[in-house]
Structure 1
Amino acid sequence: MAPAITLAAEAPKLSAANTGFMLICSALVMLMTPGLAFFYGGMVRVKSTLNMLMMSFISLGIVTILWVLYGFSMAFGTDSGSLIGWNSDWVGLGNIGLTELWPGYTIPVFVFLVFQLMFAIITPALISGALADRVKFSAWALFIALWATVVYFPVAHWVWGTGGWAFELGVIDFAGGTAVHINAGAAALGVILVIGKRVGFKKDPMRPHSLPLVMLGAGLLWFGWFGFNAGSWLGNDDGVGALMFVNTQVATAAAMLAWLIYEKIRHGAFTTLGAASGAVAGLVAITPAGGAVTPLGAIAVGAIAGVLCAMAVGLKYKFGYDDSLDVVGVHLVGGVLGSLLIGFFASGKGQSDVEGLFYGGGLTQFWKQCAGVFAVLAYSLIVSAILAFILDKTMGMRVTEDDEVAGIDQAEHAETAYDFSGAGGGAAKTAATAPVAAAASKKVDA
């Protein structure tokens, strides 16, 4: 009998369909940062609107340049000690072939790196919501650069880089529950513990100035999140990306409804802010879990996150930390819940054969998830607080109290979000209208 012939596995070939799909997903994730800017911008008072928008937009500039120079190499280069990556050929991205494929996939390296760049951009932008009204823009820009370098790039390697300790341990994080949301939420808590509360916290009304902007931002986030989540399977044609797409919609819907029901029972009204916040809580919670759970599991994950995140946002008043726009309550708590619930709801029929407690798998995966969750939380919290402390003691993190009260937009950007001084563009201010315009301007700035 002739010996059997063993055929080598065919090497992946570039797929135009997967490449196009991933470029679209990258653009969707990029759109999430302006969406976040609108979401946060509507939640602050009028006098802080532009500053809030800029705190997100500046991340698009800073992190992009760092990613090209060294960030991609640190996050996804050759592993060193399970803690960091490095590939000198990727520094500056000049030595990557245009058709060079990401190992094991059918998309070019350039497509993978630009998709991951959009994750790196939005993560520090998420932190900004906790610091509204009171941080110098220059200090914030420097904080982004330092934080991305010493926190985000290493943590991304832990979770997604080949050889990273969390990746090798088997921690499941489909699209960023630990690397993005817990990372940003813990950083937000660390920074606000250093810089302190806003002037008038728990005394003055600090209501959102534009709920339509909040809803617009939430809608853009929800839309872009399909690229964020479904794209994280990198175009593989095995149905897992489609499952993640479905679970993203299902969990978000469940969380929004659960938040609104809790809000009605607790406070007596269904608010638009609650609907937007509940949707974001569901998006956060399903991000790590959506590839591992069934749609019924996604309903459970979303509903649990909707209720518990709604409860968590009130903790700042109980414990006295000023998380301006509830980054800790939504992103940290939502990320922790979504990551840990994998240990209970993983079905074994999605991205892997791992089964959670409710599917007969015991608590093995739950303990792995705990290791990833609390390591990232502790590292980000501590290092972020240290960075904020150093910046505060050197250049100062906060604007002056007078600038904060008068309005950070005017102090830091020499602009205001809304101009009520005239009837329209180019309208002349007459002697008759000037006093009315001045009074309106004072009222808005207050």
Structure 2
Amino acid sequence: MLATRRATLLATATATAGAALFVGGVLTAGTAHAAAGCQVNYSVDGQWSGGFTSNITITNLGDPVSSWNLRWSYSAGQQVSSAWNATVTQNGSQVTATNLSYNGNIGTGGTASFGFNGTWNNSSNPAPNSFTLNGVACTGGTAPTTAPPTTVPPTTPPPTGGPPQTGLVGWATQNGGTTGGGNASTTTVTSSSALSSALGSSSASVIRVSGNISCSGMLSVKSNKTILGNSGATITGCGFNISNENNVIIRNLTFRNWGDDAINVQESAKNIWIDHNTFDHGYDGAVDIKRGSDFITVSWNRVMNHNKSMLLGHSDGNASQDVGHLRVTYHHNWFDATTQRHPRVRFGNPVHVYNNYYYKNSGYGVASTMNAGVLVEGNYFDGVSDPFHRGEGSSGAGSLVARNNHFVGSGSGQAGGSVNSIPYSYTLDAASSVKSIVTGGAGAGRINP
């Protein structure tokens, strides 16, 4: 049966995951090695009363294949109930997973991954002890896991403690860095027409926003702009669109009641820094990043009274533009009783989500989908029943590595798979201190730009 939705773990569920390793610059879940021909990594990444979530990665060690089926048998009556990134059928104890149209080709040394939900009888949930790929035995065995999610940190972990980092950190420091308008002349705007004209100028500039500007639609932002809010500066009714533009900084603004997105970054925009803003009650995304955009940092923002906070990657069908891009850092943001997308990620790897404060998010915290790789570390989850998971809606699972997070009245989350290493330096605040640090510093009005 082909199924497209991942079952959400309840707050009372006991999650389980494979032991994770850091190998060759990649954070991974524990693997099981097979003999020549194929290698299979089978992991139980979540387990609760009557149900479990598993993920499988196939590595082809033989000649390239253009289609595949993987077979195994369960020994304790487990039944597959739904799946993603494969068509999975079961006849008695035997399970067959077959590729979908987009993931049938596996070159020599290449991989294919899929996942599924299943049921078990609560007495035992042993892993399969043999697999065949297109009829060839993968004889190295498996590495089933029942321990809580763990991750061994990189050889040189980031330093912890010290004052919070309020300058530019993360992906926006890469690719030559992000300077916005730099030392260009400053223009102060107090009306929607003046704001639109300044944002749309082809010249590098520093734009200071003063007072409450009411507007509608999306205002286009050109390259090499620094947009700073003076004390109390508010954008009401409209949003900013950064499309195929580069080197933009947006700081210290309050966005309220926007009619589309508050900030939309798209069409291969690069080197964007969105910092110390407040987003209050809008229609669609507070900060949406999509269509091949890259090298972006979203930091010290507060999102409140809102549903869809931060989307990364707009559709499952946009892999050709998005794979290898959508590299974003989210740090020290305050997701204040918002619902979902904190962020919801497609394709980007690595996406770095660290030292954010999650407070009573009624939907979920972080979702990794469509083969994305998300590192979730040092965050504070406060009253969040579903802190993070893999797969969302009809989107297949991505990888998610979780480490050093702090949970208060929250679920344990779902992690698994591998994530590329982080290329930049950063200071990781102790997760238990993140609540006080972030609530004391996130949002507009907390800096003097």
Do these two structures clear the TM 0.5 threshold for a shared fold by scoring above it?
no
TM-score normalised by length of structure 2: 0.22
Q: Which has the higher helix share?
A: 1
Of structures 1 and 2, the one with the larger relative CO (CA 8 A, separation 6+) is 1
TM-score normalised by length of structure 1: 0.22
